[in-house]
Amino acid sequence: MDAITPVFDAEFRAQFHELLRWRRDVRRFRTESVPREMLDELLSLAALAPSVGLSQPWRFVLVESPAGRAAIRDNFAAANAEALTGQAPGKSALYARLKLAGLDAAPVQFALFCEHDPAQGHGLGRRTMPQTLAYSAVMAVHTMWLAARVVGLGLGWVSILDPVAAKSALDVPEDWDFIGYFCLGWPEAEELVPELEREGWEKRRSLEVLRR
């Protein structure tokens, strides 16, 4: 194992900023498949993410079967229909038009769970805030998200799902908590501006900081 401390120069730094600026939540995919070794590499990079007490509580479930994908698609359709009823009329059309999921086109789809109380980590650091386990799983998928963009792949987070039904459909251990469902594939287009901003749904704001 190479243990020479890396130095990240100005060029890397500039490109890393470009990576952050060009990472998108992707919902429109081309149909070409993702090579198995590429997916395996992304998953192994995800395991480098920080985790509370080194607990590595993330659990990835690749959803490959037609039955599994149909269950998630039905779940999304029901949850999305309910979400639409909560929207003011003016926003509804736009909201529907945003095509909130790449569930029909994405060649790779996976669910992310978090083990509720893993033995690994021996409980360190999570006594007062057990939600740091879920936060660790989120950092794993965020790592994968950035690594995917580096190789030209796009990832989309499908959050409009009933988590209880999603867990039930995927037949996972009882002590796994559902974090999210993800679509991965080759994006139809690379975009600098988020789709929600391009569609006029919302604008990004700069960050304000309080001081105490």
Residues 86-105 that bind a second copy (CB under 8 A): 86, 91, 95, 100
Check residue 110 and report its DSSP letter: E
Instruction: Give the tokens for residue 80.
Output: 């999305």
Please tell me the count of residues contacting a second copy according to CB under 8 A.
99
Beta-carbon contacts of residue 8 (< 8 Å; ≥ 6 apart)? 16
* By CB under 8 A, residue 186 contacts a second copy: no
- Choose, by CB under 8 A, the member of 35, 81, 99, 201 that binds a second copy: 201
Beta-carbon contacts of residue 171 (< 8 Å; ≥ 6 apart)? none
Residue whose CB is less far from a second copy, 32 or 128: 128
Instruction: Build a one-symbol-per-residue string for 125-164: x at contacts with a second copy by CB under 8 A, - elsewhere.
Output: xxxxx-xx-xx--xx--xx-xxx-xxxx----x-xxxxx-
- Choose, by CB under 8 A, the member of 38, 96, 105, 196 that binds a second copy: 196
Instruction: Give the tokens for residue 82.
Output: 């309910």
Of 109-128, binders to a second copy (CB under 8 A) are: 111, 120-128
Instruction: Give the tokens for residue 124.
Output: 């360190």
* By CB under 8 A, residue 37 contacts a second copy: no
Residue whose CB is less far from a second copy, 84 or 104: 84
* By CB under 8 A, residue 34 contacts a second copy: no
Distances (CA, A) of 200 to 133, 197, 204: 35, 5, 11
Of 49-68, binders to a second copy (CB under 8 A) are: 49-50, 52-56, 58-65, 68
- 3-state DSSP call for residue 61? strand
* By CB under 8 A, residue 8 contacts a second copy: yes
Query: Whole-angstrom Cα distance, residue 144 to residue 183?
Result: 12
- Choose, by CB under 8 A, the member of 34, 148, 170, 184 that binds a second copy: 170
Total length of the chain: 212
* By CB under 8 A, residue 31 contacts a second copy: no
Distances (CA, A) of 24 to 66, 116, 190, 207, 209: 27, 29, 8, 19, 25
Residue whose CB is less far from a second copy, 92 or 105: 92
Q: Least distance in Å: CB of 29 to a second copy?
A: 17
- 3-state DSSP call for residue 40? helix
* By CB under 8 A, residue 38 contacts a second copy: no
